[in-house]
Amino acid sequence: MAQAPAVSGPGWDLSQEYSGVDDPALQEDLQALQALLDQAAELNPQLQPADDAAVAAAQQIAKLRDSAAVLLANVSTFANCLLSVDAKHGGAQMLNGTLQGYRKQFGDVFEAWSQFIDGATAEQIESYLSDPDVAPSAFQVHHGRARSHEKLSLAEESLVNGLSQDGIHAWGRLYDQIAGSLQCEVLVGNETRSMGLAQTSGLLMSAQDSQRQAAWQAINQAWQAHEESCTAGINAIAGWRLEMCKQRSREQPVHFLDAPVHMNRIGRATLDTLLQVAADNKALSQRAAALQARAYGKSGFGPWDLRAPAPVLGGADSGAISFEQAVEVIASAYGEVHPDMAEFVRMMVRERWVEGTIGPNKAPGAHCTGFAKSRTPRVYMTYTGGQSDVITLAHELGHALHSWVMRDLPESQRSYGMSLAETASTFGETLVRDALLAQSTSAQQRLDILWEEMSALTAFMLNIPTRFEFERNLYTARQQRPLRVQELKDMMAEAWRAWYGDALAEPDEMFWASKLHFYISGLSFYNFPYLFGYLFSLGLYARRDANGQDFYPRYVALLRDTGRMTAEELAAKHLDVSLEEPVFWQQTVDALAKRVDAFEALLQEIETRNRGRK
């Protein structure tokens, strides 16, 4: 949709941290960081042998590590903030290079400490955690140690780590290199153009159905030229992980889902229930996909429709929303939950902690970051006045609120798994979307909002399970032997059909090659956390009305616990539900069904009106 280019957001103020890369305070922080690293390095020899002196050294090192992490993160955030506004900022680029050295040193210096924590006896850990400054890390320590049965010997771990650089990680890098150099031949209008993957992917957001399909075909053709390399890569990555599972099974069997589930701080039973609920509600999700296709006047949902915008109905454009208006919309929607939430939004803007300018060298996308020393959040985006920008701002402010309510907690309790990371953001986004829907004055505005909801529903409830099912089948089959190109295509097509059913126009059989997530060498199953986060936050949102005025303090208490318990413990304590049982998840899906109904009713209304016009 065309937008008046005059609308933009404010620039952020970073001067509360450092006046610039030359600020002496920044150099002082780096010197202090170096001193902390040196002190820790001096203590390292005391970690062997593992006796009382080792425990005392580990406690000292843990405190040094916390302080060092804060300084390193603070300067890193500053460099990243400068670079996201101006990718060509020379000083920030140099600072980033310097920081790489510190990061490497940080990893090396604290490796012995982390091995001590993993390898220590239960008594030693009890004694280690008896220090009041170290005690808050209890959850982190115990959760990390839950997988200590998988540990190989120190020498073996170090060998694996060394070999993996040119082993599993090399395959990941090869994939990135192919993706970065890929040229797609796309039909644009009636001329064929050659363009890179990023630019071609941008066309998948075209409002023109044929354009999206052409872009999708071009991307798949480009990947087909590399299908043998991708096959070698995906087989090697899966094979490496399966071999590691085998090696790590000396004490008890290790499954390929153990690591991703643990990383997300959930259990296998929860994952199984989550996917079962998605499967039980396939018909609803497929209905949403079919309605999206119908809105474009066609019978089937194509793989190229995943990121399609709402169809344009014609009629008056709703016009751009100024940044100030956006802030008011968000503050009043947030304020419906509690006045503190509205005040938080206004504070973020007043303190100039939001970056929304338009600039030629700005990084794309939006994110929330924060300074570790002052524990103040920052929101980054490019604000151009579209309705989707308002939603993005609401989303990022949700992340900011999450970190803000945790600002007084010990460092070791302030990080949370990916499964809970989108809780506050999705919550904030949903609040504002509902407010916009209530205020909407045109069918197009309502369509835009409900369309986004349907896109999210089909992405999380159909596409994510498709990816999961493929990946699980891949790992299962790979246990026997490497798979051939055609087998991977068939396996992927089958997963698409299994989830999309009759709503699907055709499966995306090259998705195993075109989806980057299957080639991240550092982690596997980068899919189910999205489904978890989506349904968990909507489930929480659905409880807002039921809890009335009590809701906000309970919400804050829940957010504050995200860094010190598993998702199951969190849900039991704050929502009084079991994530291992389908009830909570099913209630959330039932609430979504009403949105699908609303979307269908709107479509019907638009279709009736259009027929009347003819």
Q: Quick count: other Cβ atoms within 10 Å of Cβ 594?
A: 9
Strands 367-371, 354-355: pairing kind = unpaired
Q: Which is nearer to Zn ion, 320 or 368 (CB)?
A: 368
In the bound complex, what is the minimum distance in angstroms from residue 399's beta carbon to Zn ion?
6
Q: Is the distance from CB of 354 to CB of 9 less than 8 angstroms? A: yes
Q: Is the distance from CB of 532 to CB of 273 less than 8 angstroms? A: no
In the bound complex, what is the minimum distance in angstroms from residue 368's beta carbon to Zn ion?
7
Quick one: which segment of 131-139, 191-199, 233-241, 425-433 binds Zn ion (CB under 5 A)?
A: 425-433
Cα separation, 142 vs 148, in Å, equals 10
3-state class percentages of the chain: helix first, strand second, coil last, to nearest 5:
70, 5, 25
In the bound complex, what is the minimum distance in angstroms from residue 426's beta carbon to Zn ion?
8
With a CB cutoff of 8 Å and minimum separation 6, the contacts of 418 are 263, 264, 529, 533
In the bound complex, what is the minimum distance in angstroms from residue 439's beta carbon to Zn ion?
24
Quick one: which segment of 212-220, 403-411, 420-428, 449-457 binds Zn ion (CB under 5 A)?
A: 420-428
Q: Which is nearer to Zn ion, 120 or 424 (CB)?
A: 424
Q: Which is nearer to Zn ion, 26 or 379 (CB)?
A: 379
Q: Which is nearer to Zn ion, 136 or 529 (CB)?
A: 529
Please return the burial class of 234, using the count of CB atoms within 10 Å of its CB with bins 0-12, 13-18 and 19+.
Answer: buried
In the bound complex, what is the minimum distance in angstroms from residue 562's beta carbon to Zn ion?
14
Q: Which is nearer to Zn ion, 425 or 588 (CB)?
A: 425
In the bound complex, what is the minimum distance in angstroms from residue 441's beta carbon to Zn ion?
29
Q: Which is nearer to Zn ion, 211 or 425 (CB)?
A: 425
Cα separation, 222 vs 359, in Å, equals 32
Phi, psi of 321, deg, nearest 5: -105, 125
Quick one: which segment of 5-13, 65-73, 291-299, 424-432 binds Zn ion (CB under 5 A)?
A: 424-432
Q: Which is nearer to Zn ion, 493 or 567 (CB)?
A: 567
Q: Which is nearer to Zn ion, 37 or 381 (CB)?
A: 381
Quick one: which segment of 96-104, 373-381, 421-429, 449-457 binds Zn ion (CB under 5 A)?
A: 421-429
In the bound complex, what is the minimum distance in angstroms from residue 395's beta carbon to Zn ion?
6
Q: Is the distance from CB of 237 to CB of 168 less than 8 angstroms? A: yes
Q: Where are the alpha helices (DSSP H) in 351-422?
A: 387-405, 418-421
Q: Is the distance from CB of 26 to CB of 404 less than 8 angstroms? A: no
DSSP label at residue 368: E
Q: Which is nearer to Zn ion, 425 or 537 (CB)?
A: 425
DSSP label at residue 502: G
> What does the chain come to in residues?
614
Using CA of residue 218, residue 219, residue 224, residue 226, what is the dihedral sign? positive
Site size toward Zn ion, by CB under 5 A: 1
Q: Which is nearer to Zn ion, 302 or 370 (CB)?
A: 370
Verify binding: residue 425, Zn ion, rule CB under 5 A. Answer: yes
Quick one: which segment of 11-19, 310-318, 417-425, 503-511 binds Zn ion (CB under 5 A)?
A: 417-425
Two tokens, residue 426 = 């999705």
Q: Partners of 380 in the beta sheet?
A: 355, 367
In the bound complex, what is the minimum distance in angstroms from residue 478's beta carbon to Zn ion?
32
Residue nearest to Zn ion (CB): 425
Closest CA to 91 of 157, 18, 12: 18
Q: What is the contact surface with Zn ion in residues (CB under 5 A)?
A: 425
